[in-house]
A and B are shown apart, each in its own frame.
Chain A
């Protein structure tokens, strides 16, 4: 196989201004306070890993950004400008795409139909299938996705990894600026995890801001530029991957603190 280069190689970028910034985000479900004053910055061209124990609030945070859950307090800035995200449509309009933990694909539709769901292209009032199919195929090709037999395969016939691939390719198709991936590799085998992680890296190389949620430390350390840790709904640390060790992150996840990092012991230096 003569494989062409899949895009420009990654260049170490200077810390760019964040494309998406959350400040003091709070979220409660009734009496359950799930997110406490979460601050998070997502920079273009970087993979930010979001880690935390089960129930720490990772998925909730993602759904708040995606407009599935309204936030109770705090602000969201996109490209430096304050924005209000109240529906999935708002998030999509900004260029925020989400790959959900519980997959959000319609089984009875094919790959093309799923990739364009909710934003179908039309011509003269009728669906422009030709155009959509080409765009979908081009996108998959640009990501060097080679595992699907046909873009007209119904999603119900795809494997877990292929579904994730479709969900991620959907994000690229829309020229998104930010892609949030909630445990995209949780249900995958070794080879398929490999593919998805490569894909995640390629998204960042294209200049997208990527947030990756994962419980697998090896994956996190392999692809992430920064690691943000949620502990019981609080964002306790956000550190560059190269300045961090496995042990520290595990401690942050389980105890919310590691040495000087994380939750303060007694005094409160929070702004």
Chain B
């Protein structure tokens, strides 16, 4: 049985194997790893690199053009402005990973925001606020969502939607925490309806969500009232996007996050080394951990400096949106990378038929991503409503959704499915928020902001398309 495969030399630069399958190199030197990375880049697998470079460029340009851009106050403000879009984009990544689209995520988040505002303004009396007919229809829709989620065995979705129904019907007096929860539950219920129409009924996602985009926009208008505005006069709700952790808590948070990150990273690397499975070179792992830790600590330090524009007050501390986005990012990444559910999402997005043949319930997975998307979009709604301090008939309309899709795509998530990560949404969302913020400081009108954002999105999409072509040519 010697020389069975005389031409089995796929690893030219690799060392000769010692035993059975040692040709499978589990460890590479740092140089080899960097070389592989360079080869991947040449092969068109750019990942988040273009977006990061773009972000750097924007920072440099705006710093040169405006002396107010690179100030502590503005950077903190930027975080609050970008967080809503970033969060909605994170939910969208789940849908985009399947190669689907949810055009209704924006206005769906608007519905969640308006229910939250109605509940607050009317002290929990939604029946009185909506009128009987609308209230009954509203409750009916949630009941339907619960039933559909149960039928699809989406237990968490059904549970959240049912909880939402309970909150609506009980009419508990206004309480900011309950209202946030209610908004999230409304988002879940909406996602169950969308997911059912796409996955179970089989209508193309584009059509379903385009229709719902219009419909939810109408629902927001109905809830808020033409020309009306519901003010969010509540300290907690105001603080979500405008407040900051106290300085000591900021450092505590930074410390916990950094230590947790390092412990997980090092622990995982050691485990891989011990088990003899494929792992990155140790210097590279440590270098990456070190870089992130340094960045995090530097950021925390900057945010704990006084950024108040006048001498009377002191504004310092990490804005609440940072931990909110970070927790969602970590949780979501954990789900996508380390659970069966996440693995199945990637599989369905990569090859739906292969996933089906592997015994994966494709319909259930497809429905579930819409539930995730709308639920997370509702969190985004809480953030952007808090930023403005009110909910108007335009909530979640306009550019909200398109900016969120743009954020995911700019970050490197493919619209063709199977490729993308949650951090793409964070990076891309930051790019979009930076454009908005920087051009605003330069006194540019909305027209310019839209045009520039459009051009950047086009650039990102071209990078995606070109890298796909290169990848196809290289055979990856």
A→B interface (CB under 8 Å): 1-6, 66, 68, 87-89, 92, 98, 100, 102-109, 113, 117-120, 122, 125-127, 129-130, 133-134, 137-138, 140-142, 144-152, 154, 156-157, 191, 195, 198
Contacts and interface: CB of A to CB of B under 8 A. Distances in A.
Given A106-B346, A133-B277, A146 B359 contact: no
Which residue among B5, B6, B353 has the maximum number of chain A CB atoms within 10 Å of its CB? B5
Given A104-B353, A106-B354, A149 B5 contact: no
B338 A149 contact: no
B11 interface: yes
A95 to B, nearest CB: 14
B473 interface: no
Contacts, number: 140
Interface stretch (B14-22, B100-108, B166-174, B382-390): B14-22
Given A105-B354, A107-B351, A149 B23 contact: yes
A107 B355 CA distance: 11
A87 B24 contact: no
Contact of A127 (B7, B340, B354): B340
Contact of B10 (A88, A140, A142, A148): A148
B25 interface: yes
B272 interface: yes
14 contacts: A3-B2, A92-B359, A102-B353, A105-B351, A106-B351, A108-B349, A109-B346, A117-B354, A126-B334, A130-B271, A130-B272, A134-B277, A148-B23, A156-B471
A106 B340 CA distance: 15
B278 A133 contact: yes
B339 A87 contact: no
Contact of B14 (A117, A126, A129, A149): A149
A156 B476 contact: yes
A104 B343 contact: no
Contacts of A1: 2-3
B470 to A, nearest CB: 13
Contacts of A145: 21
Contacts of A154: 476
Interface string B224-241: 000000000000000000
B178 interface: no
Given A137-B21, A147-B5, A87 B359 contact: yes
Contact of B278 (A126, A150, A198): A150
Contact of B357 (A68, A120, A140, A198): A68
Contacts of A191: 5-7
Contact of A151 (B278, B346, B350, B351): B278
A130 B268 CA distance: 10
Nearest to A150: B24
B275 A130 contact: yes
B4 interface: yes
Contact of B419 (A100, A108, A149): A108
A144 B24 CA distance: 12
Contacts of B355: 106, 117-118
Contacts of B25: 149-150
Contacts of A151: 24, 278
B1 interface: yes
Nearest to A154: B476
A146 B357 contact: no
A235 B360 CA distance: 32
Interface string B140-183: 00000000000000000000000000000000000000000000
Contacts of B357: 66, 68, 88, 98, 100, 104
Contacts of A195: 4-5
A150 B271 CA distance: 18
Contacts of A198: 4
B340 A122 contact: yes
Contacts of B419: 108
B84 interface: no
B84 to A, nearest CB: 30
Contact of B4 (A3, A87, A133, A138): A3
Interface in B442-476: 471, 475-476
A107 B99 CA distance: 14
Contacts of B271: 130
A171 B143 CA distance: 44
A140 B21 contact: yes
B356 interface: yes
A107 B359 contact: no
A89 B361 CA distance: 10
Contacts of B2: 1-3
Nearest to B276: A134
Nearest to A128: B338
Which residue among A92, A113, A117, A134 has the maximum number of chain B CB atoms within 10 Å of its CB? A117
B295 interface: no
Contact of A88 (B346, B349, B356): B356
Nearest to B16: A1
A127 B338 contact: yes
Contacts of A141: 20-21
Contacts of A118: 344, 347, 355, 358-360
